[in-house]
Amino acid sequence: MIIVMGKEADANNVKAVIEKIKSAGLKAFISEGEFVTIIGVVGDVTKLKKGEFERMDGVDRIVAVMKPYKQASRDFHPKNSVIEVDGVKIGGEKITIAAGPCAIESEEFLFSIAESVKKSGAEIFRASAYKPRSSPYDFQGMGEKGLKMLKKVKEETGLVVETEVMDTRNVELVAKYVDILRVGARNMQNFDLLKEVGKVSKPVILKNGISATISEFLMAAEYIMSEGNHEVILCYRGIRTHEPAVRNSMDILAIPLLKANTHLPVIVDPSHAAGNFRFIEATSRAAIAAGADGLLVEVHCNPEKAMCDGKQSLTTQKFDSLMKNLKAVAAAVDRKM
């Protein structure tokens, strides 16, 4: 439920409402707008006596949140959330680009790509130290050794770094080395993992599941937020359908649907959606035009020899071209690159 404070409400009125919420064993979250303050109540609201807030000083009205996801809902938090990591903002006026290889292969290789994507305008470096693969015999990533390389990239290039976390036992370890944790599509409904990343004080990129609905996607974000971590970045990468021509079907309508229902930043992964480097630029342009706050793009200096996902990786030259071409699209929808 949401408690909307009136325009005349002062700090003491807000404090009194929050104290009453906490005294009932519930949590209170504040969203301050230009004219009014909204207090979101999370927990079993049946513990509250009917009508006990309506008569409190400064309270304008009580609104029930009907959606199953509460904290992720735009009803709960009307303004767009902007998540800032070392000066890089995700969800603001500027389109934020994360780029890098699917997997960490070597230190020299990693630095070569990091320096190139930074020069092209990327602000976040993406690379996986742990790789979920369909076959147990495929390359599974470099583990902690790869994490140490990512930390070194951060120290020497200044780029914000992110990587995927797959196991509840590794959450604390991964958080020690990177700025942003990523939960992949296969783990969107790994609720134990969602709860664990919800306990760390690092932003989380959450990808939608292979065939997840919008509601299921937002409920997964709710799991993270219910543990106290409100810095969730939604990453849409399409869903599996009957169509074999692409890796995943990219439903562009999902972007404005998400933006209408949640205040959380929404970015798009055109690489996993397309599954083919030839279609990444068109998918990226469409995503930005539809309202995405950023992109997560796979880039490799030699895709033909990539240890995984080479087919859907841009060369550093093609990525540079993409970044230049996206500026016009961003400007057309009143965004910056």
Identical fold, 2-63 and 83-332: no
What is the token pair recorded at 314? 């841009």
Confidence at residue 142, expressed as pLDDT on a 0 to 100 scale: 87
Nearest of 204, 145, 193 to residue 169 by alpha carbon: 193
CATH fold, domain 83-332, is TIM Barrel (3.20.20)
Confidence at residue 308, expressed as pLDDT on a 0 to 100 scale: 86
Q: Do 233 and 190 touch, CB atoms closer than 8 A?
A: no
Confidence at residue 306, expressed as pLDDT on a 0 to 100 scale: 87
Confidence at residue 35, expressed as pLDDT on a 0 to 100 scale: 77
Confidence at residue 239, expressed as pLDDT on a 0 to 100 scale: 95
CB atoms < 10 A from the CB of 78, how many?
13
Q: Where are the domains of the chain?
A: 2-63, 83-332
Confidence at residue 123, expressed as pLDDT on a 0 to 100 scale: 98
What CATH number has the domain spanning 2-63?
A: 3.30.70.1140
Confidence at residue 83, expressed as pLDDT on a 0 to 100 scale: 98
Dump pLDDT digits (tens) for 87-146. Answer: 999 999 999 999 999 999 999 999 999 999 999 999 999 999 987 767 776 766 789 999
Confidence at residue 52, expressed as pLDDT on a 0 to 100 scale: 85
Confidence at residue 36, expressed as pLDDT on a 0 to 100 scale: 82
pTM listed for this prediction = 0.91
Confidence at residue 131, expressed as pLDDT on a 0 to 100 scale: 75
Residues of the chain with pLDDT under 50: none
Q: Do 124 and 181 touch, CB atoms closer than 8 A?
A: no
Beta-sheet strands, E only, within 101-154: 124-126
